[in-house]
């Protein structure tokens, strides 16, 4: 039997091979916008409550029809609180040109592929979070997905995960990741790439570290070893480079993007950003203007409640991790049992800790600032009671070496590759 299950009269069929054959070569700016759009949506929401409150106004303006139930004319503004319990939110970066600026190419130049698929998991007690990246070329089973016309696309035993948007939109990507991980995912957002460059500019640039020279003629990216503050097009070039990083693979490009994302999150959570309303508003505007939200997220109160759940999580408790994979022809596949064990841990709401490396595309920054000395607690004043000690967190489960990544608190450098080594 072929990979695609036998069709039934009520089911629709798509030809993956034929469809891919019609696709033109991707615009060189596509990869970074697809990835960073999704990543930055996470990071914007990972800021603080002021970023979420800014999003309140932004979403009201860019998402017509959203009913702001807590807003009452003549009354004080709504009162926000963190969402109760844990959160699983899937962020999908689409390469669709629909509604995007002409610089990204015509609407018929690409299909609608999710070349970025990232799962944000917030623990039940809001003490930790993880951002889990699924490589675009990972082969996975795709369940039968609604086709939007009353029918169903056939289930398939093995296709690349980045085709799920084609087979049924955002809902199909969610169904696929749920089946793959065993997790329930009640929230999802599809993010397009238009306007995302403005986010790095909105924070005044992001400082990244380069361990070895990066040279990539495909993206016109040439960076000497050292520190670079990147914004706008320069940030775009850095994020989309593949040939100039690690071994030139998409996996090491993810490592490189995690270097940028962790630096960006530190920048967003810094006092210089949070004390500047213009920066906060610009970040919220850039992110929400490029989101297509699931019905469950299409409410500003929900967005803000998720942001409030994230705002106080320590940088060292935010883990960026790439799922364990093994190589196969023209792609990768989940590496078992490591893959299943990781999601069993997450399903049990246990914090995770990276036990392996940052991956071949990143390395520790030798000039990272020293960790601050712990501050001694002041003795309570006479007649007052001491503040109760925080409840200790559950011990973290150390992931196997096959799961690579870093925390947002780690200072890392991108491992460059010169033209002579390509």
Tokens of 259: 């270097």
Specify the pLDDT at position 104.
Answer: 44
What pLDDT does residue 5 have? 37
Measured distance CA(293)–CA(189) in Å, rounded: 4
Q: Which of 108, 138, 135 is nearest to 23 (CA)?
A: 108
* Structural element, H or E, at residue 190: strand 187-191
Task: State how far the alpha carbon of 221 is from the alpha carbons of 29, 214, 236, 317, 377, in Å.
Answer: 12, 7, 10, 32, 48
Question: Which stretches within 311-384 are classed as H helix?
Answer: 338-347
The pair of three-digit structure tokens given for residue 103, joined into one six-digit string? 């610089």
DSSP per residue, 128-187:
-EEEEEE-TTBEEEE--EE-SSS-EEPPEEEEEGGGTTTTTHHHHHHHHHHHHH-----E
pLDDT for residue 270:
80
pLDDT confidence of residue 340: 97
How far is Cα 268 from Cα 45, in angstroms, rounded to an integer?
10
Angle at 376 between CA 368 and CA 351, to 5 degrees: 60
User: Residue 187: beta bridge partners?
Assistant: 89
Spans in the chain with pLDDT lower than 50: 1-78, 97, 100-106, 109-110, 194-195, 377
State the pTM of this model. Answer: 0.76
pLDDT given for residue 105 in this prediction: 45
Distances in whole angstroms, Cα of residue 114 to Cα of each of 120, 148, 191, 209, 258: 16, 18, 9, 28, 18
What does the pLDDT look like over 5-55, one tens digit per residue? 333 334 444 444 333 333 344 444 444 444 444 444 444 443 333 444 444
Centroid of chain to Cα 189: 11
Phi/psi of residue 318, nearest 5 degrees:
-105, 110
Q: Specify the pLDDT at position 268.
A: 81
Q: What count of residues does the chain have?
A: 422
Residue-level pLDDT at 383: 56
Give pLDDT, residue 394.
Answer: 73
Distance CA 374, CA 42 (A): 29
């Amino acid at each position: 039997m072929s990979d695609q299950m036998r069709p039934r009269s009520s089911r629709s069929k798509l030809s993956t091979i034929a469809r891919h054959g019609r696709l033109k070569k991707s615009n060189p700016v596509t990869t970074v916008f697809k990835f960073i759009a999704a990543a930055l949506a996470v990071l914007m929401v990972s800021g603080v409550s002021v970023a979420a409150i800014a999003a309140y106004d932004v979403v009201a303006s860019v998402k017509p029809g959203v009913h702001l139930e807590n807003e009452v004319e003549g009354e004080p503004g709504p009162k926000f609180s963190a969402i109760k319990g844990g959160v699983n939110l899937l962020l999908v970066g689409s390469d669709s040109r629909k509604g995007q600026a002409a610089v990204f190419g015509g609407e018929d130049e690409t299909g609608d592929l999710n070349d970025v698929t990232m799962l944000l998991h917030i623990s039940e007690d809001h003490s930790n979070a993880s951002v889990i990246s699924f490589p675009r070329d990972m082969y996975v089973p795709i369940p039968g997905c609604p086709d939007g016309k009353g029918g169903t696309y056939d289930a398939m035993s093995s296709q690349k995960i980045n085709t799920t948007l084609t087979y049924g939109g955002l809902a199909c990507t969610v169904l696929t990741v749920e089946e793959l991980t065993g997790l329930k995912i009640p929230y999802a957002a599809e993010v397009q790439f238009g306007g995302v460059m403005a986010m790095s500019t909105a924070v005044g640039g992001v400082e990244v570290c380069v361990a070895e020279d990066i040279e990539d003629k495909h993206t016109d990216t040439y960076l000497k070893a050292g520190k670079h503050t990147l914004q706008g097009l320069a940030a775009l070039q850095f994020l989309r480079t593949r040939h100039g990083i690690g071994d030139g693979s998409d996996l090491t490009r993810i490592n490189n993007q995690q270097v940028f994302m962790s630096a960006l999150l530190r920048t967003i959570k810094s006092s210089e950003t949070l004390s500047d309303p213009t920066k906060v508003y610009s970040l919220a505007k850039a992110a929400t203007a490029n989101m297509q939200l699931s019905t469950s997220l299409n409410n500003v109160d929900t967005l803000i409640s998720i942001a409030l759940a994230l705002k106080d999580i320590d940088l060292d408790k935010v883990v960026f991790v790439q799922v364990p994979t093994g190589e196969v022809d023209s792609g990768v596949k989940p590496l078992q049992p490591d893959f299943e064990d990781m999601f069993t841990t997450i399903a049990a709401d246990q914090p995770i800790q990276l036990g392996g490396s940052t991956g071949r595309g990143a390395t520790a920054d030798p000039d990272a600032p020293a960790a601050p000395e712990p501050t001694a607690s002041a003795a309570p004043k006479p007649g007052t009671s001491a503040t109760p000690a925080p409840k200790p967190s559950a011990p973290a489960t150390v992931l196997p070496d096959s799961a690579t990544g870093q925390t947002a608190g780690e200072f890392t450098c991108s491992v460059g590759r010169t033209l002579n080594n390509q």
